[in-house]
Amino acid sequence: MRIGMALTIAWLAVPVAVGAEKEVSMDPLMAPGIFRTVLRKQGDDRVHTYRIPGLAATPKGTLIAVFDLRHASAADLPGDIDVGAMRSTDGGRSWSPVRKVLDFDRNEPGSQGNGVGDPAILVDRKTGRIFVAGLWSKGNRAFHGSGPGLTPAESGQFVLAQSDDDGVTWSQPVNITAQVKDPAWRICFQGPGIGIQLRDGTLIFPAQFRGADGVVHSNFIYSTDGGEHWKTAPAAIPGKPPTSEAQIAERADGSLLLSMRDESHSGKRAWAVYSWKDDMARGSWGEPWSAVADPTCMASLIGHPKGLLLFCNPASARQRVALTIRASKDGGKTWSDGRLIDPRPCAYSCLTVLPDGQVGVLYEVGEKSPYETLTFARFPLGFLGLED
């Protein structure tokens, strides 16, 4: 049964500048209480393009935004790319300057010209530790230039930085490639966006790997000891379609819902559920299915304390436009028709739940291209036609 709500097409007002303290004026069709602000735009601080948003709230209520700093062009890895972060301690109204979290020109001797990107952020709510995952590409060892093996000279590297002071400072990166990558695979790295912590404390990053046959598959990695050691789950869809850039959420019954980018360009998302009894390593995937229009793009999926799942993506089978948020009350079996966040060209997004229960989203949006800005929006569940 669908949650009844029509897709509403309405423009948000012009974004206010970072640091503004007033609410954004709105079209009358928009629900009251929505706020929106631009964090980064192309050319800021001489960075060509800011892409690949991740967003999380810490136990102290701080919002941490992470993203690619694509210095020379908008192109993917390999390239001159670092991972940056910004903090907000007032619910997203104002933001700190950008601080680099992953920068292998600085961290790795002799690595000039190497890039690291596609970040995902994960908060351990028991300890307050924050993890940021990135793909380090030494030379051309990105998605297409990587091969079998575990070393930086052979394959892209799965690296983690961490913060124990609410995102103010960050550790040197730790390389976990040997823990999570089968040497026969060409590459293994995080699904960009956000990781999750299960009710039992297990930490999870959605992930993806390109097998020896060259086909990309979505999966996840997990840690049961606070991020000291990591293990790898099997592919959600071992055959076809190829999938990538997944996001993951815990369902009410404890199983995991994986939302995947379908690389066969089917025009829909791919979905699968992972379940287990006593040992996650002995779990298995259920039969995958396709649902919800998607233009072969990264999309966001999170759980909300009210018992809902929330999903956000460009609501089109072919174009990266019309960023829309949907809700599910049945663990992802069915989804609401959704509510439009932004009708302009939009692409990647990352949802999070704020300490007061409101929903925050960091997303790529522009007037002519989705990659002109990274913009933050905040709104209550009432925006979706649901009670707060």
Which residues, at least 6 apart from 239, have a Cβ–Cβ distance to it below 8 Å? none
Binning the chain into helix, strand and coil, the percentages to the nearest 5 are: 5, 45, 50
Q: Rounded distance, CA 196 to CA 198, Å?
A: 6
Q: Rounded distance, CA 171 to CA 267, Å?
A: 40
Q: Which of 263, 376, 382, 290 is nearest to 18 (CA)?
A: 376
Q: Rounded distance, CA 378 to CA 93, Å?
A: 9
CB atoms within 10 A of CB 26: 17
Q: Rounded distance, CA 297 to CA 338, Å?
A: 18
Q: Which of 50, 57, 59 is nearest to 100 (CA)?
A: 50
Q: β-strands 115-123, 130-137: how paired?
A: antiparallel
Place of tokens 């300490």: 355
To the query of whether residue 263 is one of the catalytic residues in this protein, the response is no
Q: Rounded distance, CA 242 to CA 245, Å?
A: 11
Q: Rounded distance, CA 241 to CA 266, Å?
A: 9
Running DSSP on this structure, what letter comes out for residue 45? G
Catalytic residue (choose from 23, 228, 245, 250) = 245
Contact 83, 66 (CB under 8 A): yes
Q: β-strands 115-123, 193-194: how paired?
A: parallel
The CA-to-CA distance between both ends of the chain, in Å, stands at 21
Running DSSP on this structure, what letter comes out for residue 382? G
Contact 123, 95 (CB under 8 A): no
DSSP alpha helices (H): ranges in the chain?
A: 104-107, 177-180
Active site residues: 245
